[in-house]
Amino acid sequence: MEIIEKIKKLDCGDIVENADLRKYTTYKVGGHAWAIVSPYTIKDLQTLLTLLIKEKVKYKIIGNGSNLIFSDKIYEGILIRLDNFDNLTIRDNVIRVGAGYPLMKLALKTARLGLTGLEFASGIPGSVGGAIFMNAGAYKSDMGYVVRSIRVLTPDLDVKTMYNYELDFHYRTSFLQKFPGFICLDATIELRHGDVEEITKLINERKMRRLETQPLEYPSAGSVFRNPENNFAGALIEEIGYKGKHIGDAYVSEKHANFIVNKGNASGDDVKKLILEIKDKIKKEKGIELKVEQEFVD
């Protein structure tokens, strides 16, 4: 393919051609993409994007695929992963970390150093950049509480620092979601000093709770719907009788109804159909418009 040959000539990153998207999403679903490119540096990312924009080629930045549902069709474009953006510097209680660094790994590493504030992230399988994009959170905390600033690549391909007050962090959303032309490159995170034993105990307790209440034995992407105000999406799904409901191998979990799991060979379309069916049924029966936390990608 001509565009892939042009990317190869740039020598700007690792390239996986005809990429099987099941390997790049936590649902383990999806078709193939023309290619996945992992730039080595910010300059390489700028060079790659300059080419894609010039050639009018569709592209998308992805993290660990922990919130994405790809269709089973070919993604006719280039997916860009920032997994090479994984530098980590810790000075006292201030962390500078690349967008591609795994969030769970960061949470556990800072916990061992006696830094508190990221315990909520110890069970979130995304990348730092993806977590900031989504304002990922749990246990009444989220990235908005700990991110001091980020560096972004702007739509004009300039590097700019954006501070917490500019990032418009709210429940499972941020400036980056509303303006996807901005790409998170790295973040400065500020934590607090705490007691290693207490931090570790809290993380372990929450891990046990997740094992008891969430279907971690199957591929999924965590909670499907945001909890509506003064209610729980999982309870609503149970009330309409959808616990255990399935389309193909995409099942509403018996353990937690706000999880859809892949019990074998679910397709991206199976997962999407089941989500939209639940959304539509709850709207009709309960009059509640559920917000999908996950992103459908064609």
Beta strands in the chain (DSSP E): 13-20, 32-39, 59-62, 68-70, 75-81, 88-91, 94-98, 115-116, 137-138, 141-142, 147-153, 159-163, 183-190, 192-193, 246-247, 250-252, 260-262, 295-297
Token pair, residue 78, equals: 């280039």
Spatial separation of the C-alpha atoms in residues 57 and 34, rounded to whole Å: 11
Give the residue from 65, 75, 1 showing the smallest Cα distance to 31. 75
Give the residue from 290, 169, 168 showing the smallest Cα distance to 237. 290
How do the residues of the chain divide into helix, strand and coil, expressed in percent and rounded to 5?
35, 30, 35
212 is catalytic: no
Give the residue from 272, 260, 265 showing the smallest Cα distance to 296. 272
Catalytic, out of 172, 206, 210, 226: 172
Catalytic, out of 122, 149, 223, 253: 223
172 is catalytic: yes
71 is catalytic: no
What are the φ and ψ backbone dihedral angles of 235, each rounded to 5 degrees?
-65, -40
Spatial separation of the C-alpha atoms in residues 280 and 271, rounded to whole Å: 14
- CA geometry: angle at 121 spanning 162 and 94, to 5°? 50
The answer to whether the CB of 15 falls within 8 A of the CB of 53 is no
Q: Report the first-to-last Cα separation within the chain, whole angstroms.
A: 20
Q: Which residues are catalytic?
A: 172, 223, 293
